Chains A and B, each alone.
Chain A
Amino acid sequence: MKVLVPVKRVVDYNVKVRVKSDQSGVDIANVKMSMNPFDEIAVEEAVRLKEAGKATEIIAVSCGVLQSQETLRTAMAIGADRSILVETDVELQPLAVAKLLKAIVDKEQPQLIILGKQAIDDDANQTGQMLAALLDWPQATYASKVEIDDSKADAPRVNVTREVDGGLEVVSLTLPAIVTTDLRLNEPRYVTLPNIMKAKKKTLDNIKPADLGVDVAPRLKTLKVSEPAGRAAGIIVPDVATLVDKLKNEAKVI
């Protein structure tokens, strides 16, 4: 079974971004970039499926600027077999990414696509679901456990435990299917130096959106980016008596 894993290069999750003073955007010049944490979990899950004999080939894909090659090398160092970069400097929004991925899926014909549930930069939480709709495939989002059921060779399924607002639920999907990862699906392995060296020799194909016949022009226009409302500075109180007094008489919340 071929598994496709889309990955995104984002601002590292430890970085606290700042809004530019002209409100034109967020200042990400010279900040550390990394693979989206949920996408790392997706690559790890694919590699575990391969190690368990359920997947035969893992293809990592990224859409975006040339430096996304680094993200793909990391995916291959974790264990992806080869990768594809759809290179563009255009601001890619989820609908465009879903369309690019669909074009790749049409070519590569994977049985399973594992994506991160959301990117920690735009926090959109859309791409996996949009791709599923474009393909008319079923989806299981926010996965905390993924089990391939190939007991019936002609009707393979994937059973997924999902983290939902009230707890957990389990859904069963026919293949091909889309799964998006949540935090507790797995803990990604550390990338070892030998694997980083091996990854340099793995194939990284570079194509353009035009090669796939996709119009990637953004639909949403960002008029401005502002800072969230700040909070007034708080105080340290010496004891619970003072705290309760403040909560009752100053904040009036109890």
Chain B
Amino acid sequence: MTALVIAEHDNATLKGSTLHTITAAAQCGGDVHVLIAGHNADAAAQAAAKAAGVTKVLVAEGAQFADGLAENVAAQALALSAGYSHILAPATAFGKNILPRVAAKLDVAQISEITKVVSADTFERPFYAGNAIATVQSSDATKVITVRTTAFDLPADGGSAAVESVSAVADSGKSSFVSREIATSARPELTAAKVVVSGGRGLGSEENFKILDPLADKLGAALGASRAAVDAGYVPNDWQVGQTGKIVAPDLYIAVGISGAIQHLAGMKDSKTIVAINKDAEAPIFSVADYGIVGDLFEVVPALVKELG
């Protein structure tokens, strides 16, 4: 049995999501190969070769892969799919966009967002916004799987896989990348951070969200938000934590002015420790919080920053 991981990368670096996916791939029981479909992506390929468990890195080079267009990356994975028992990708916007195309062309089911590998053909996955966990078994010849990265550890370092070129499929010609607006921040990435400070509608405005900055600075935290805060325009869309936003599982999640709707809890209830700050004692967030403070966040947050010293 051999698994193929479709790597998420930006040509210059390998994304952490790929590493967590490699761990899941290895648990499926055989060798792990990694596909780097990119443009001048040698650095990403070398990083993948160092992950323990990886025995081969396949590099498909071409401008048609530079921006991760689903039509092209999926076609490349398909061209290589023969002989693989499992094909995996991270359950990120990248992986979720691409992988179902591969499954459909192979005429097999996809298992989305697994949280556990039970055996080579059986997996656990959350559904109903994480209120239920399904154990599903696939009898398809190839198991096509997206991986919830927070459920799998990083692999060890120290691998030295062979890196080989594969012939690149042509551009589909039907889609083109136009532009991107990606925020750059000195803060850690939301899905990888050990501490997340998250704000909700209670903050009230884009300007008010800045009161979370000193707290995030003190704790070296990433900043997140509820859907309500994003919809209201206080913060950008990529801050959203929740069922249809990002899934996070940091050591510490501090929910500030977040009521705790089911859909938000779906994105953060696997956090190791949850703190809630809300002026409404009945807010559902307190039902998942380990520690709660009922109070005005505009007083509590500065006081907390001061107490942290």
Q: A residues touching B (Cβ–Cβ < 8 Å)? A: 11, 13-14, 16-19, 26, 38, 93-95, 98, 117-118, 120-134, 137-142, 144, 159, 162-174, 177, 182-184, 218-228, 231-232, 234-237, 239-241, 243-244, 246-247, 251, 253-254
- Beta-carbon nearest neighbor of B90 in chain A: A165
Interface-located stretch among B48-56, B170-178, B200-208: B170-178
| Chain B contacts to A: CB under 8 angstroms | 67, 69-71, 74, 92-94, 96-105, 107-113, 122, 126-140, 172-183, 191, 195, 219, 227, 230-231, 236-238, 243-244, 246, 251-252, 262-263, 269, 272-275, 281, 286, 288-294, 300, 303-304, 306-308
CB distance from B12 to the nearest CB of A (A): 14
Q: How far is the CB of A214 from chain B (nearest CB, A)?
A: 12
The residue of chain A having its C-beta at the shortest distance from the C-beta of B175 within the complex is A138
With A133-B101, A169-B180, A171-B177 known as contacts, the answer to whether A17 contacts B131 (CB < 8 A) is: yes
Residue of B nearest to A226 (CB): B133
List the B side residues contacting A254 at CB < 8 Å.
195, 219, 252, 308
A243 to chain B, nearest CB (A): 6
Known: A122-B127, A167-B183, A183-B231. A246 touches B291 (CB 8 A): yes
Q: Inter-chain contact count A-B, CB under 8 Å?
A: 257
- A and B contact pairs by CB, cutoff 8 A, 12 listed: A126-B100, A129-B98, A129-B99, A133-B105, A139-B101, A165-B94, A167-B181, A174-B173, A225-B133, A227-B131, A231-B274, A240-B300
Contact B127 A129 (CB under 8 A): no
Chain B nearest CB: distance from A222 CB in Å?
5
A132 and B135 within 8 A (CB): no
Is there an interface contact between A219 and B109, defined as CB atoms closer than 8 Å? yes
- Enumerate the 4 nearest inter-chain pairs by beta-carbon distance, A residue then B residue, closest first: A129-B100, A219-B109, A130-B104, A133-B101
A219 to B138, CA, bound (A): 7
Taking CB as reference atom, which chain A residue is nearest B178?
A170
CA of A218 to CA of B128, assembled, Å: 19
CB-based contact B269/A219 at 8 Å = no
Q: What's the minimum C-beta distance from B195 to chain A, rounded to whole angstroms?
A: 7
Name the residue of chain B whose CB is nearest to the CB of A219: B109
- Is B304 touching A94 in the complex (CB atoms < 8 A)? no
Contacts of B292 in A (CB 8 A): 234-237
Q: A171, B176: Cβ atoms under 8 Å?
A: yes
